[in-house]
Amino acid sequence: MKKLKKFISVICSLILISSSFVGCNKNDANGKRTLNVFNYGDYINEDLIKKFEEETGIDVIYDTYESNEIMYQKVKNSPGTYDLVFPSDYMVEKMIKEDLLEKIDFSNIPNYQYIGEDYKNLQYDPTNEYSVPYMWGTVGIIYDADRVDDVVDSWDILWNSKYKGEIFMFDSIRDTLAISLARLGYSINSINKSELDEAADELIKQKPLVQSYVMDEVKDKMVNGEAIFATVYSGDAIFIQEEAPDLNLQYVVPKEGSNKWFDVMVIPKGAKHKTEAEEFINFLSEPENAKENVEYIGYATPNTGAYELLDKETQEDETVYPPDEVLDNCAIYRDLGNDIKLYDDAWLKVKIN
């Protein structure tokens, strides 16, 4: 998950109505309104940042991170540094427990009306006080169908020795262990040590078949045809398919189940520019802007207004919007608290063997 930054000066008047806000406060030493954003790399259409700055006069200072854990440490150890961050579901749950997030003033976010009911009251923020959904998707397998003579509907295919050296796996503790847990019929949120040990043992057995453990670089590698199989996020699957139209690349969520994930917008505790953060959340939730953003990123949108603006082909693309029977077999990651050490230990076992 992505990168950028920009600058503009300050005005304040009726132009803010376009983002459904009124009023203006100067919050920087030089009299400018500013907003400090921390997001995954390449996880926003940068044209929207420019548009927001031009419409509001707010100077957006934009930094990126590579993982939820990096973001969490920065927010926890440097309170007040960022006004808006984009964590995943389980990290939101953790940050709420640790009192690291501000409650959002939804009177400043009228475009929240476009967030679908299916994306509210979820377990990571059951009272909808701290977050606004940004993107969602699934975890699955992308594969070159022209180079496979087996049915690809199970995680088992990634343990098939005939495809030795043709497999990319996530270099990710939660995602990779979740795949092994799901394959074995266990919860992807298991805190049962014997189940996690078994999942780790299966990954160790698989290691000789794996070409490498990767993250963002998987996109270029699959576009270049460097392997037959890769574990990917659904939005990355779309990107890969679009960048390699000459390859018969297919995406599947295996029948044993997988992860259905949500990335959301939240305001860290002690944010210095909370009103500006809410203004940006509202801007990104406006259907036209949300559509432009989701078309750039490639993931699924929780914004019903934006979804209605998408072309029919995208709306019916099951890679992006899987049918209910697939989603019903997926689970959301939970914050595991201190039990996350079980995952750290299991992953270390995989890495050193």
Q: What does the pLDDT look like over 236-257, one tens digit per residue?
A: 999 999 999 999 999 999 999 9
**pLDDT for position 7:** 32
**pLDDT for position 42:** 87
N-terminal to C-terminal alpha carbon distance within the chain = 28
**pLDDT for position 27:** 59
Give the span between the Cα atoms of 197 and 234, in whole angstroms: 28
Give the span between the Cα atoms of 323 and 237, in whole angstroms: 17
**pLDDT for position 217:** 94
In the predicted model, residues of the chain with pLDDT beneath 50 are 1-25
**pLDDT for position 28:** 59
Specify the fold of 14-136+262-314: D-Maltodextrin-Binding Protein; domain 2 (3.40.190)
Unique residue bearing structure tokens 């005939």: 162
**pLDDT for position 15:** 34
**pLDDT for position 151:** 98
* CATH node for 137-260+322-352: 3.40.190.10
**pLDDT for position 26:** 55
Residue 284 near residue 276, CB atoms below 8 Å: no
**pLDDT for position 22:** 36
Render 36-97 in DSSP notation, one character per residue. Answer: EEEEETT-S-HHHHHHHHHHH-EEEEEEEESSHHHHHHHHHHSTTS-SEE--BHHHHHHHHH
Based on the number of CB atoms within 10 Å of its own CB, is 165 exposed (0-12), middle (13-18) or buried (19 or more)? exposed
Q: Domain residue spans in the chain?
A: 14-136+262-314, 137-260+322-352
**pLDDT for position 211:** 98
pTM, to two decimals: 0.87
